[in-house]
Amino acid sequence: MIFHTPAPKSKKRKPNAKARALQASWEDLLKKYDVKPNVVVAQRTSSPPVVLRRDSMAHLPSVDTGVGVAPKKEAPVYTGDAMIGISVLHKSNGIPVFRQEDAIDISKMRR
């Protein structure tokens, strides 16, 4: 029977001389300018958050200006003369064809 033991937890490393000097200089700056570190303490509220339901908001009127949000976008249409057609390479993948050679190559391709 094999027993798997958990890997030992790594100890917290002690700061080296450079890190200690940096921390000391930081604390000196804080003392020099009389700055106290911000400590955020989470405060618990005694009441649960308020949840609004649709049926409780039914009495609130809706604002209607009578104007739509945006005009309808026109469908894109190709107006040039460089494209000679559209080919289907695989399933419903439409590919624009610009040269006769491309059309021949696409027709000869297999899956």
**How many Å apart are CA 91 and CA 85, to the nearest integer?**
17
pLDDT digits (tens, 9 = 90+) for 69-82: 778 889 888 888 88
Token representation of residue 28: 């000196």
Rounded to whole angstroms, the Cα distance separating 90 from 106 reads: 10
pLDDT < 50 positions in the chain: none
Angle, CA of 84, 90 and 96, to the nearest 5°: 20
Q: What is the reported pTM?
A: 0.29
DSSP SS3 for 101: helix
